[in-house]
Chains A and B, each alone.
Chain A
């Protein structure tokens, strides 16, 4: 038993053992998901709240189902981005939720570091479901889980992450996780969407996507937010697509059995072509299933910590 944390705020700082334990537990949880009777008592009597300051149907639903499959009481709070701007105090909101007897708060927030601030001020466990451009740890865990299930191991695999690295919390969490697990991580994208000094995080930087794809075992696309073009970071979506879209032709450069991953939702034909997204190598739908298993594992492991502390 390695995971003894109160919170899961990011992949940064997680040890190999901790990641292994989460992924191993997720294997067990995945069995529950393929049963007809999807109900276990793991979280009986536990109370979980999702606190979302940004819309995300899929992540919120994934947490909700994970909680319900394990018999927890759960509620969703949708605060919306406007309440951040209005200055409603995050700490006050957190304390109010906690006062209602909540064991785990799952937070999504447009500001990097918001879950860290919340975690400092509440005794409940906090799970980061995406903070600003910082991290999205449960996404990275489900990605790593998917890779491990498909490839048997993460160690020594070549993983190419393609697209808007600068604004991607998925990329950042995956970089921390995959490098910890022994993969060679390559990042590729336009220079205006590449964070400074990212090499020092242990990745190889490519501005030419073809170079990055050569011999890759896993190719991970990222969602391109259309507003990046409006901010002047890209001259046009058209040029982006011509240079960086993951398509059939480019995929010939990767290994034949390479996985194609994407956190969704997809901009078809922008960062990834439709045929590739739906092709045999794509794990996109399986990633969604695995997301529930990984979140079940995390909720179980974090609340078990609480139990240990109480008894």
Chain B
């Protein structure tokens, strides 16, 4: 048995935090009470800390199979655990792409060998992520895929996107859409605006994202079927989704921590660690993303953890790979930029990082409750520290937040009742 004592519990259900001990037997939470006297085998003292349902990430890239030099399921899950994530859903843009049941099974099998976090595969919408032919969605679901996405690439053909939404509805499979019109992106590599003009770098218009958000909303609306918009980054996208939700469209969406913590000014100096897709937008967009998180337009925060090798980043800006290694800074960025300034409460952050992502993916987790699985993350809200990518468990050291001071840190992570990180030390 494991007992977490003296912590402030934010359980994902009650809006008000409360002081309580949590007793775990095996994989299960068996008691939550103000003082538990049962003698446990292992006790974690959480005095001064907050005890939260383990974070659930609906969008990450683990790179296995095919790109193990960037990340593998071992390093990726250890990185997730270090960031307080107990369940993560990984995108299928590996090599080969996860577009068949055998590969879904491969990822599940590898995840069982590496037990730092639970891995839920997301499978491809179209064969080979080519945007042409639908995958065998029923088989993928039976094999264990929790959602479908061609993330990394948009489905440019609106006819195929519509068929995918229609067909997937038959099996209650959620489609996660990477919204980007490639014709509008052109050869752009950063947000188009004053900064791209100043830096002499080809810009990506916000319209590249927004026309596809609008398209997918309209498709979902006319089909009366759900769609989930990945990595929302612009004010226009937030507004389109806000209006759609008001009309009752079954649209959900996510943003990533870098879209509320960083802006296109960071590209000054041409450091490719600031290169990500969609690109870092303007300060005005950052404000809109924060408003969207506050009023609930943006349902969840997903990391879009996208590790890359140094050699793919220490190059000329337009030649560099896009993506940010995000697991290990996600909570701290959210705490620093959302909870600390009072934009949202810690309970609301838990909803966005644990409860809602679990519900949207329809997977276990997201709440601390007797009888529920013991996926638990303990954070120290008072701890300030400076991000040091050399300490990342991820192979991907590509973070524009290196050297930044953040507040709020994950200290313990418990997956299925097992302590996988204790006092910031990964044990698996």
Partner among B201, B203, B315 whose Cβ is within 8 Å of the Cβ of A132? B201
In the complex the two chains form, is B200's CB within 8 Å of A196's CB? no
Whether, in the assembled complex, A186 has its beta carbon less than 8 Å from a beta carbon of chain B, the answer is no
Whether, in the assembled complex, A135 has its beta carbon less than 8 Å from a beta carbon of chain B, the answer is yes
In the complex the two chains form, is B317's CB within 8 Å of A113's CB? yes
Stretch at the interface among A17-25, A86-94, A146-154, A253-261: A86-94
Stretch at the interface among A197-205, A267-275, A278-286, A303-311: A197-205
Give the residue name and chain of the A residue nearest to B202 (CB).
Answer: A133
Whether, in the assembled complex, B225 has its beta carbon less than 8 Å from a beta carbon of chain A, the answer is no
* Chain A contacts with B in 96-138, Cβ cutoff 8 A: 109, 111-114, 116-117, 131-135
In the complex the two chains form, is B196's CB within 8 Å of A113's CB? no
Contacts A133-B202, A196-B203 given; indicate if A114 touches B316 (C-beta within 8 A).
yes
Q: CA–CA, A136 to B156, complex, Å?
A: 37
Partner among A87, A113, A200 whose Cβ is within 8 Å of the Cβ of B270? A113
Whether, in the assembled complex, A169 has its beta carbon less than 8 Å from a beta carbon of chain B, the answer is yes
Contacts A111-B319, A114-B316 given; indicate if A196 touches B197 (C-beta within 8 A).
yes
In the complex the two chains form, is A84's CB within 8 Å of B316's CB? yes
Give the residue name and chain of the A residue nearest to B318 (CB).
Answer: A111
B363–chain A nearest beta-carbon distance, Å:
39
Q: CA–CA, A201 to B192, complex, Å?
A: 15
B314–chain A nearest beta-carbon distance, Å:
6
Whether, in the assembled complex, A265 has its beta carbon less than 8 Å from a beta carbon of chain B, the answer is no
Whether, in the assembled complex, B33 has its beta carbon less than 8 Å from a beta carbon of chain A, the answer is no
Contacts A113-B270, A196-B203 given; indicate if A132 touches B193 (C-beta within 8 A).
no
Q: How large is the interface on B (under 10, 10 to 19, 20 to 34, 35 or more residues)?
A: 20 to 34
Q: CA–CA, A114 to B316, complex, Å?
A: 5
In the complex the two chains form, is B198's CB within 8 Å of A201's CB? yes
Give the chain B neighbours of A87 by CB distance below 8 A.
315, 319
Whether, in the assembled complex, A262 has its beta carbon less than 8 Å from a beta carbon of chain B, the answer is no
In the complex the two chains form, is B319's CB within 8 Å of A197's CB? no
In the complex the two chains form, is A169's CB within 8 Å of B316's CB? no
In the complex the two chains form, is A196's CB within 8 Å of B196's CB? yes
Q: CA–CA, A114 to B272, complex, Å?
A: 11
Whether, in the assembled complex, B385 has its beta carbon less than 8 Å from a beta carbon of chain A, the answer is no
Give the residue name and chain of the B residue nearest to A136 (CB).
Answer: B200
Give the residue name and chain of the B residue nearest to A109 (CB).
Answer: B316
Contacts A195-B196, A197-B193 given; indicate if A116 touches B319 (C-beta within 8 A).
no
Partner among A91, A109, A113, A200 whose Cβ is within 8 Å of the Cβ of B199? A113
Q: Using A109-B316, A111-B318, A133-B202 as known contacts, list a sample of 19 further A-B pairs with CB atoms less than 8 Å apart, ordered by residue number in A.
A: A89-B314, A111-B316, A112-B199, A112-B202, A112-B317, A113-B200, A114-B270, A114-B316, A114-B317, A117-B314, A134-B200, A169-B200, A172-B200, A195-B197, A196-B193, A196-B196, A197-B197, A201-B197, A201-B198
List 29 A-B pairs, Cβ < 8 Å. A84-B316, A89-B311, A89-B315, A90-B315, A111-B316, A111-B317, A111-B319, A112-B199, A112-B200, A113-B199, A113-B201, A113-B270, A113-B316, A113-B317, A114-B316, A117-B315, A131-B200, A132-B201, A133-B200, A133-B201, A134-B199, A169-B200, A195-B196, A196-B192, A196-B194, A196-B197, A200-B194, A200-B197, A201-B198
